[in-house]
């Protein structure tokens, strides 16, 4: 069960690997939690990921209504089209929780991919999705050692926890040649390592005039401190972010910054090319922390906590407050080559999906 772009990226290799296990018959259900030509169909086409079934749920629902509609749609699919021996959910979005609830109420075994991650920040709705999903799961596939510790602390039996690595990295490895072939740098007239890449979409940063004003001030400050090594600031603007800039009549403020390259949301291949050749990335995203860690690109995450601590201990990620002098100071420290000792975490090697199927073949 998948529903959002981060979900899609985590399951691109499932059907390919499943071909090596004839006893498995895999169906991918897309809940349509994220659905638009720009942000879903493009991903499906370039990643050769074609869901077997897509729900038709209304747009602009509250979280409660969205989860309810997704649950009803999943139940209808199971009852009328395909009754599974196992449901697999990935990540921490509303579709994850909805799938877990359906599995629980229909007495179908549940596996959670990316299990055990905890930010310990209960202001994030995703934190509840993670915890509740793990409460209902029978099989726990984890990306890092901290997740194992978290699950053991929640009394999950050790023989149900499987350290497999990160399936998101499987996609990066599988598509690395196609990512390299992307011409997005030429289209945007960018030079490698001479731009900073920005992504912002979390409510506390983009849903209020004060939050958007901080984003504007940050971009202006980066423009101010940029030297000949950093020529551009690239901002593929999320629809939520753009709509709020327009709603509060602030869009012209970012458009007027000379070094800013403002783009529409990018396809997966284009966005990964932009990450790969960025001087650094500034984000409030979860998945970007992992992608930059694998690619060893400095990442500044403007959040008080992360559910992916291995990106801090071993990777290229740092948590900073949304304080412009602090952010500017860290950018200068990157310019001075003070942050180079990055490591790729264990099992982030492109083989995580294979590990999952090898385990499932033994336990099902």
Catalytic residues: 201
3-state secondary structure the chain: CECCHHHHHHCCCHHHHHCCCCCCCCCCEECCCCCCHHHHHHHHHHCCCCCCEECCCCCCCCHHHHHHHHHHHHHHHHHHCCCCCCEEEECCCHHHHHHHHHHHHCCCCEEEECCCCCCCCCCCHHHHHHHHHHHHCCEEEECCHHHHHHHHHCCCCHHHEEECCCHHHHHHHHCHHHHHHCCHHHHCCCCCCCEEEEECCCHHHHCCHHHHHHHHHHHHHHHHHCCCCCCEEEEECCHHHHHHHHHCCCHHHHHCCCCEEEECCCCHHHHHHHHHCCCEEEECCCHHHHHHHHHCCCEEECCCCCCCCHHHHCCCEEECCCCHHHHHHHHHHHHCCCCCCCCCCCCCCCCHHHHHHHHHHHHC
CA distance 66 to 360: 30
178 is written with which tokens? 């196609």
What is the C-alpha to C-alpha distance for residues 325 and 77, in angstroms, rounded to an integer? 52
Residue 26 sits at φ, ψ, to 5 deg, of -100, 135
Residue pair 133/89 in contact (Cβ under 8 Å)? The answer is: yes
């Amino acid at each position: 069960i998948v529903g959002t772009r981060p979900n899609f990226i985590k399951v691109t290799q499932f059907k390919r690997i499943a071909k090596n296990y004839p006893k498995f018959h895999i169906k991918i259900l897309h809940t349509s939690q994220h659905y638009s030509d720009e942000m879903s169909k493009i991903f499906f086409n370039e990643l050769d990921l074609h869901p077997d079934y897509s729900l038709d749920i209304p747009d602009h629902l509250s979280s409660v209504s969205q989860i309810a509609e997704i649950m009803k749609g999943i139940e209808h699919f199971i009852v009328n089209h395909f009754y599974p021996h196992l449901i697999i959910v990935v990540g921490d979005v509303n579709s994850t929780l909805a799938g877990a609830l359906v599995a629980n109420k229909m007495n179908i075994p549940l596996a959670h991919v990316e299990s055990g991650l905890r930010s310990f920040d209960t202001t994030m709705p995703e934190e509840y999705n993670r915890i509740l999903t793990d409460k209902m799961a029978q099989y726990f596939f984890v990306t890092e050692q901290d997740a194992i510790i978290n699950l053991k602390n929640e009394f999950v039996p050790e023989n149900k926890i499987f350290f497999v690595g990160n399936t998101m990295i499987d996609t990066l490895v599988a598509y690395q040649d196609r990512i390299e072939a992307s011409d997005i740098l030429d289209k945007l007239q960018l030079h490698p390592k001479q731009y900073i890449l920005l992504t912002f979409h979390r409510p506390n940063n983009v849903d209020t005039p004060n939050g958007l004003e901080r984003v504007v001030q940050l971009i202006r400050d980066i423009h101010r401190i940029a030297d000949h090594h950093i020529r551009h600031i690239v901002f593929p603007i999320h629809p939520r972010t753009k709509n709020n800039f327009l709603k509060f009549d602030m869009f012209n403020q970012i458009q007027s910054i000379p070094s800013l390259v403002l783009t529409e949301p990018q396809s997966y291949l284009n966005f990964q090319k932009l990450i790969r050749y960025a001087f650094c990335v500034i984000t409030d995203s979860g998945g970007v922390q992992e992608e930059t860690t694998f690619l060893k690109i400095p990442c500044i995450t403007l959040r008080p906590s992360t559910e992916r601590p291995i990106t801090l201990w071993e990777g290229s990620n740092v948590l900073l407050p949304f304080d412009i002098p602090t952010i500017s100071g860290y950018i200068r420290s990157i310019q001075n080559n003070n942050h180079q000792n990055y490591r790729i975490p264990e099992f982030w090697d492109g083989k995580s999906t294979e590990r999952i199927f090898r385990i499932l073949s033994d336990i099902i």
